[in-house]
Homo-oligomer: A and B are copies of this chain.
């Protein structure tokens, strides 16, 4: 079997959860984890867990389950967080600045090395160890620093325009935080993390729970 080529997005989403949980076990010194323990903690079936982990080049052991250190290392490798991903944030509003200041990302290989805004009053102001840069410098920075990920943290009305600029500058992937759909060629990966949309999913879910 050829491993981890084209794992479905649904499986990749769950792998981020397996990884988070296994990292916790490892930190606590736990050496083994079974598919049923993973399933119970994450609200899945053990079948799904074993099916998912079959995409990965790491085998469990009969009677014991999966060795946590090895599994963590393999999940990290598959997801690519063993690499350094140069990342820039476009939009120095509250959300954009918060991402730059958040430590979680750097710890996982996402090196935020630039923040940009079109507002002249924001350009030059400090955000952590960075200074807000002018949009003119976007393309040059992407090239010179070999930036592969762009985070779109601008209002919905300008999100697609920002995406065009990033794509023209040969970005490889976009994280879209704006409450709008972003179109990109197949060669550029797009992942949505639209918080306002998540809140709407939540309001629907609460309403339908009440109906039952």
Is A195's CB under 8 angstroms from B41's CB?
Answer: no
Q: Which residue of B lies closest to A78 (CB)?
A: B204
Q: Kindly provide the distance from the CB of A117 to the nearest chain B CB, expressed in whole angstroms.
A: 15
Contact of A79 among B83, B110, B204 (CB under 8 A): B204
Determine the main DSSP class of A at the interface with B.
helix
Q: Which residue of B lies closest to A27 (CB)?
A: B157
A198 CA / B81 CA spacing, docked (Å): 12
Copies of this protein in the complex: 2
Chain B residues lying within 8 Å of A20, measured Cβ to Cβ, are 156, 179-181, 197
Query: Which residues does A use to contact B, with CB under 8 Å?
Result: 5-7, 9, 12-13, 16-17, 19-21, 24, 41-43, 78-81, 83, 85, 87, 93-95, 97-99, 101-102, 104-105, 108-110, 148-149, 156, 172-175, 177, 179-181, 183, 186-189, 191-211
Sample of 8 more A-B contacts, CB < 8 Å, known A81-B203, A94-B101: A12-B204, A79-B204, A85-B203, A98-B98, A110-B203, A149-B199, A189-B202, A191-B199
